[in-house]
Amino acid sequence: MTSLSDEAGPTIFHSPQNPPSLEFQRKILERSGLGEETYVPKAMHNIPPTPSMAAAREEAEEVMFGALDILFHNTNVKPKDIGILVVNCSLFNPTPSLSAMIVNKYKLRGNIRSFNLGGMGCSAGVIAVDLAKDMLQVHRNTYAVVVSTENITQNWYFGNKKSMLIPNCLFRVGGSAVLLSNKSKDRRRAKYKLIHVVRTHRGADDKAFRCVYQEQDDAGKTGVSLSKDLMAIAGGALKTNITTLGPLVLPISEQLLFFTTLVVKKLFNAGIKPYIPDFKLAFDHFCIHAGGRAVIDELEKNLQLLPIHVEASRMTLHRFGNTSSSSIWYELAYIEAKGRMRKRNRVWQIAFGSGFKCNSAVWEALRNVKSSSNGPWEDCIDRYPVKITT
């Protein structure tokens, strides 16, 4: 994982917005859960900001290549050995593609199976892992690399519509690179085994489809609008997702309680609340997408988690902000850096994204996992956790 080295600081005030919009963003920032060391790209530090295609490419290259350099160094895998490449970035999709930029930079082999996923939001990292998993089941004895990132440079909103200003306050630069293998010899040195991927798509519902929506405001300024219904829609998507995930991971006792209340409610239309399974019995660690403070608060409450279970998510939001699809990997790196990942521990990565989607990945640690060298928390883990002011 990597991030650019420019601090976010006063960037929010560099845009030609009216005073009410600036005040609105100031209030959002104060209670956002973000700290003072998150990153935005260089173009946003100029007065006025200078977003351009060249600057957006520079941001993408610095993030992706930085993460990949660390990955290849830590794993001793040569770029030429990579057989599958999956890149996901929702809002920046140049030609040639981001995946082609990586092929060119590292001179990957000519028969590489490369994919570039765009427009799929903050949950696309799990989708990319799922695609890589499917490809590895078909193509034997090879490596897959999944690169997850988002691009801020050309997607900062310079208008005054409140629902489109919120992403300015939450989204920050970041990215991750993950190596997957189906080679039997790699089991001895692998960190984790992928157990399950469960994907939920609510795009057939119009409200869900439009709750995270890129559009132009009345002044022609482009940005991403967040609906007031977002949390309710996310809750519905989560419910559908865990209905599928539950039978795969929960003890029988929890499954019986869950489905008994579900059947009673359906048959008798009883006014009883559905039973929320205790997922703490199935998982040792939780990596909840650091989409914002409200997202983490809601899942902590609905899944009846303890503060320790959402610590990685809150600290990732504080240190790095919402880095979109890569945030779940910063959270996993936090757990590793704290020395909490033990052999046979199970991890639940859960992410929400436009569409609207809720996606889960379940991993099992194959050994006691230590933090990788040059990790994102290397220079600051001793300062965390920090107290988040309300």
Residues designated catalytic: 122, 201, 285, 289, 318, 322
CA angle 384, 4, 324 (to 5 degrees): 75
Token pair in block for residue 342: 């033990």
Distance (Å, whole) CA 77 – CA 243? 38
Are the beta carbons of 89 and 100 closer than 8 angstroms? no
Token pair in block for residue 62: 């610095």
Distance (Å, whole) CA 164 – CA 340? 38
CA angle 86, 87, 90 (to 5 degrees): 140
Q: How far is CA 47 from CA 7, 10, 16, 55, 164, in A?
A: 15, 11, 10, 15, 21
Only one residue has tokens 């057989």, namely 83
Distance (Å, whole) CA 205 – CA 229? 13
Q: Which residue in 335, 351, 27 sits closest to 162, CA to CA?
A: 27
β partners of residue 192: 365
Are the beta carbons of 359 and 127 closer than 8 angstroms? yes
β partners of residue 319: none
DSSP assignment string, 289-343: --S-HHHHHHHHHHTT--HHHHHHHHHHHHHH-B-GGGHHHHHHHHHHHTT---T
Q: Which amino acid is at 382?
A: D
Distance (Å, whole) CA 35 – CA 112? 40
Distance (Å, whole) CA 87 – CA 48? 31
Distance (Å, whole) CA 184 – CA 157? 48
Token pair in block for residue 385: 């956790």
Give the gyration radius of the chain's Cα atoms: 21
